[in-house]
Every structure is written in C-alpha cells, then in structure tokens.
Structure 1
Amino acid sequence: MAAASTSAVRAELAGALDASRLAREAAERELHRSIAVRSRAAETLERTAERRGIEESERVRLRGEYAAADRVVAEQRAAVEKARQFERAAAIVADAFETEATSASPLAAALLALVGSRTKRARPRRAAA
C-alpha cells in the first residue's frame, strides 16, 4: 500500500513546479537588475576615461565598482541557470509521475513514499507551532 495518495503527490509536484517557476522568475529579475547596475557603472567609468582632472583614486574606485557589479552579474547568471535546471527537473519528474502514476512503476511508488514521509514529518511541526 502506498504511503500517500496519487492526488497528494500531484499536489506536491504542482507546488514544486510553481515554486521552481517563481524562483526562476525572481532570479531572472535579479539578473536584469544587476545587468542594469553594471551598465550604469560602465557608463560612469567610460565618462571619466577622457576627462581631465579626475584623480586616479577616483578611477580606481570606479573600476572597483564595475568589477563588483560584474561579479554580481556572473553570480546572478549562475543563479538563473540553477533555477532553470531545477524547474526543468521538477517538470520532468511531474511528467514522469503522470505517465507512471496509473501503473505499478517503481518511480510512482517512490514518489508516493517520499510524499508520505514528508507529510508525516510536517504534521508534528505544524502541531508544535
């Protein structure tokens, strides 16, 4: 006998798909924001390149700001890729479950057991809260 119902697994998978989509969208927004910050830092740095009378310490500071903004963009790109991979994985698992849910497949049984074990662990926490 399965530890959880097929509908419970479907609900868990739907929740995972929604959460992964929201995480990806948030990561993409942060990436776009960080690209804009880096662009502003680059424009400021470029405006000072030909300007006379600017101290070298100011140029060093502006280069540092650009480098920091560029690092943030790289980190955000990695976060977006990770979120996309998780979203794809959640979709693959959900699709596989839907395909296998009506059979006696090991995948469907494993997902049913997983959701059942998570449900059992979550109930005592909710009661304590």
Structure 2
Amino acid sequence: MSAASATSSVSDVRTDLADAVGASRTSREAAERALRLAVAVRARAGEALERTARRAGVDEVERARLRGEYAAAARVVADRRAALDAAREFERAATVVADAFEVEASSASPLAAALLELIGSQAGRAGARGRTARTSTRRTTSTRLGATRPRTA
C-alpha cells in the first residue's frame, strides 16, 4: 500500500468511525426519548388504574382492561430500557474503537496497518462483486406486534 493510499485510507477510516460514533449517539438519544415517552404512558395507565381502585361500583371488565393497558405499558418500558442499554453499549464500543484507532494510527503501529489492509481488502472484494463497501448509518424502525421480542445485533 502506498503512502498516499494509506493516508487516504486513514482519513476514510477516521470519517467512517466518526460517522459510526455520531450515529450511535443519535441512536442512544432516540432510545432515551422513547424510554421517557414509554415511562410517561405507563404512569398515565397506572394513574387511571389507581383512580378506579377507590371508586365504588366500577365494572370489573373496565378494571381488567386498565390492568391490561398498564401491563402492556410496563412491557414497553422494559423493552425500551433494554434498547437504551444496547444503544449505550454500542455507543461505548464505537467510541472505544474510534479512540483506539486514533492512538494506533498516530503511532504508525502494525495493528493500524493491519486494520487498514483489512479495510482495503474488504473494499476490494465488495467492489469486485459490484457493490460499494459503505455502511449505512440510517436508523431503521420496525413495527412490533404484541409479545414479539426485538432482534438483537
């Protein structure tokens, strides 16, 4: 690998790592917002359930419905909390990798050279198949049904 291509590869890797750190931060912030919203919905469902506990003559069907709403909201909070934990973990990992690359790349270590070689070979293989070796930072969303569990990475 020539010095010019190594320099461009280093800057490409730096850019990709900065994009990954930024995307992971954005993902964590979105997970935090989703958790806050889910907690608020659960709190409203709990308040509605508590109001019916003190009222005389409340239909048991209505109480069962409110208990179901609260249980569903509690499951959503648990799912959002797990998603936030995963997003925080990914953000920490992306930051560690980016920081480690900066340390290794600035010291011209064999590890950094091997990483650049690996990235270059993957880009070459992807180009040979007619694809670009670019990762997407676009966040995808999915609609969850009932008791389905989210996929993990």
State if a TM-score over 0.5 links the two structures. Answer: yes
Category of TM-score, reference length = shorter chain? 0.7 to 0.9
Select 1:89's aligned residue among 93, 96, 99.
93
Quick check: 1:104 aligned with 2:109?
yes
Q: Distance in 1 between matches of 2:121 and 2:102?
A: 20
Distance 2:59 2:113 in 1: 68
- What whole-Å deviation, never above 9, does each CA across 1:69-104 have from its counterpart, x for those lacking one? 001001100100100010000000000100000322
- How far off is 1:125 after superposition? 3.4
Supply the distance in 2 between the matched residues of 1:10 and 1:27 (Cα, whole angstroms).
25
| 2:35 partner amino acid | L
**Cα distance in structure 2, aligned partners of 1:111 and 1:61:** 56
| AA of the residue aligned to 1:37 | V
Matched, 1:26 2:30: yes
- Give the 3-state SS of the residue equivalent to 1:62 in structure 2: helix
What is the letter of the counterpart of residue 65 of structure 1? E
Q: Which residue is equivalent to 2:131?
A: 125
- Residues 97 and 64 from structure 1, CA distance in 2 versus in 1: closer, same or farther, beyond 3 angstroms? same
- RMSD of Structure 2 on Structure 1 (CA): 2.1
Cα distance change, pair 114–90 in 1 and its aligned pair in 2 (3 A): farther
Which residue in 2 is equivalent to 1:66? Answer: 70
Cross-structure match for 1:42? 46
The 4+ residue runs of structure 1 with deviation greater than 2 A are 1-4, 113-126
The percent identity for this pair of structures is 61
Q: Deviations over 1:33-54 (max 9, x none)?
A: 1001000000000000011121
Query: Under a length normalisation based on structure 1, what TM-score does the superposition of the two structures give?
Result: 0.86
Relative to structure 1, is the Cα distance of residues 42 and 29 closer, same or farther in structure 2, using a 3 angstrom cutoff? same
* Matches of 1:75 and 1:15, distance apart in 2: 26
Which gives a bigger RCO, structure 1 or 2 (Cα 8 Å, sep 6+)?
A: 1
Contact 1:8–1:115 at 8 Å: present in 2 too? no
